[in-house]
Amino acid sequence: MRIIAGEFRGRKILPPDNDATRPITDRAKQSVFDILSPLLEDAVVYDLFSGTGSMGLECLSRGSGKAVFFEQDRSALHRLHQNILDMSLTSRTQIIPGDLFKWFEKNSPNSPADLVFLDPPYRFLTEQPEKLQSLAESWGRGFVSPNATVIFRHDTADQLTLPQLHLYDQRNYGSMAVEFLRFS
């Protein structure tokens, strides 16, 4: 795993050391960022289910202003911390450890996101879709800017409509789908 472009181009990212996360391939990552490039400058990014931080760190490398990482797995959190330290990005990042669903329920917005990477474990779409739908509803309380883009990664076999969001682009990479959504 590595940063593809920008300030930290070519820098390696510590990968997950277990199967709790699914790293995105460089090819798929490059394609996603080709689409997002006009939206990155000074953006506030939420990287939900961030794993070791690949997507949020790529955004920071390409000029985003701040990334907020949400992760529950302890091993992934340890590596995420190390990746942030290795790139000296602590001043432009925030890590929210633990259950992100509870965090969005209990907290008030302070920096609305311009980009949201939603990359839940695939089981959420089949086992707990209502949690993801409730999460999307909470974003309307000021957690995301009105013109924010949500990048929703999931298995191509699964479908889930998120409230208040409409699909404007979708790319499939093998069995992985990446949806680009905006608020209606």
Q: What is the pLDDT of residue 121?
A: 87
**CA 91 – CA 2 distance, rounded (Å):** 21
Q: What is the largest CA-CA distance in the chain?
A: 39
Q: Is residue 18 predicted with pLDDT exceeding 70?
A: no
**Is 139 exposed, middle or buried (CB count within 10 Å of its CB: 0-12, 13-18, 19+)?**
buried
Instruction: Copy the structure tokens of residue 183.
Output: 């608020």
| Residues 6+ positions from 127 with CB-CB distance below 8 Å | none
CB atoms within 10 A of CB 158: 13
Global confidence as pTM: 0.94
Question: pLDDT tens digits, residue range 97-123?
Answer: 999 999 999 998 888 999 999 999 878
Q: Per-residue pLDDT for 20 more than 60? A: no
The whole-angstrom separation of Cα 182 and Cα 5 is: 25
| Mean predicted lDDT score pLDDT of the chain | 93
